[in-house]
Amino acid sequence: MSISFKGRVAIITGAGVGLGRSHALGLAARGAKVVVNDLGTAANGVGQSSDAAQSVVEAIRAGGGEAMAHGANVTDADQVKDMVDQVISTWGKVDILVCNAGILRDKTFAKMELSDFASVVDVHLMGSVIPTKALWEHFRTQQYGRIVYTTSASGLYGNFGQSNYGAAKAALVGLMNVLCQEGGKYDIRANLLVPTAATRMTEGLLPQKVLDLLRPETITPGLLTLLHEEAPSRMILGAGGGCFTETRIYETPGVAFADDELDPDTIWSRMAEVRAESGQQVMPGAFDQTRKYAAMAAALRGINLDEK
């Protein structure tokens, strides 16, 4: 095995079942000490039990690995702090954070209660922010951290009846983009995993033949790739059925309009040019886009931005 996590300590949220369980077993198999975090709720976030997390811990220990369970609610900062404190007290550090906990409360936007919208955003977004915040200074101090957030095609592309889930998952793209910039000099690398898996969240939504192909175990190798010492940062890795892709957000070259052309009729008449894909590029950061627009506008008006 060239990729090893021996000596590394990993916290995985939502690790009692499905993808999280597979991730925990995969990390442990390659030498990591694993914290199995799971509140033990149903797919809609109702109920609570430690049985699932403890079962994963026992499976890891049976295979000769080291693991502990913790039932922290990822939306509760005090509980998450308690988990982090216990792990550092026991194993001295944390190197890896995998945010996988999630719930579903699907309904069309017209029928969805605001409380169900807020609950899903809280678990998926704040349930990723809070564990990250609890570990951020620790990662900065030790000059090392590997973070993977679990997003979804529902957030990147949309899915009928999942406005709450899609909004929460899309927000993780913004979180990752900023943390990659702020954590880069401390060797903190953050990435996104976009899994399509047969889990309790997808049961009943896909034919059984498709579910059989999309076992969680076909996705975990991609996660492990995003967590090793030489992993990339700011990658959106799609995974499902042993297939892996990269999603990138591109911006078209665009069109600069003169002052006397700045009206919706003119812009609409040239919308095909605005949307033309030839020459599109990935923006490294927000100010790269700002500089691009300033350069285009200046060139159109004959302004030399280098002159003081």
What is the C-alpha to C-alpha distance for residues 279 and 296, in angstroms, rounded to an integer? Answer: 14
What is the C-alpha to C-alpha distance for residues 151 and 235, in angstroms, rounded to an integer? Answer: 12
In b/e form, how buried is each residue of 262-276, taking b as 16+ CB within 10 angstroms?
eeeeeeeeeeeeeee
The encoded tokens of residue 112 equal 């969805």
- Of 68, 14, 19, 65, the residue nearest 42 (C-alpha): 14
Instruction: Respond yes or no: is residue 157 known to be catalytic.
Output: no
Classify residue 36 by burial, with Cβ atoms within 10 Å: 0-12, 13-18, 19+. buried
Residues 198, 201, 205: CA angle, nearest 5 degrees? 75
Expressed in angstroms, the distance from the first to the final Cα of the chain is 57
Q: Answer yes or no: are the C-beta atoms of 215 and 172 closer than 8 Å.
A: no
**Annotated catalytic residue within 144, 165, 186, 250:** 165
DSSP 132: H
**SS3 for 185?**
helix
What is the C-alpha to C-alpha distance for residues 173 and 234, in angstroms, rounded to an integer? Answer: 9
Decide the pairing of beta strands 9-13 and 96-99: parallel
Give, in order, the Cα–Cα distances in Å from 164 to each of 27, 38, 236: 30, 22, 20
| Number of residues in the chain | 308
In b/e form, how buried is each residue of 62-75, taking b as 16+ CB within 10 angstroms?
eeebebbbbbbbbb
- Active-site positions read 165
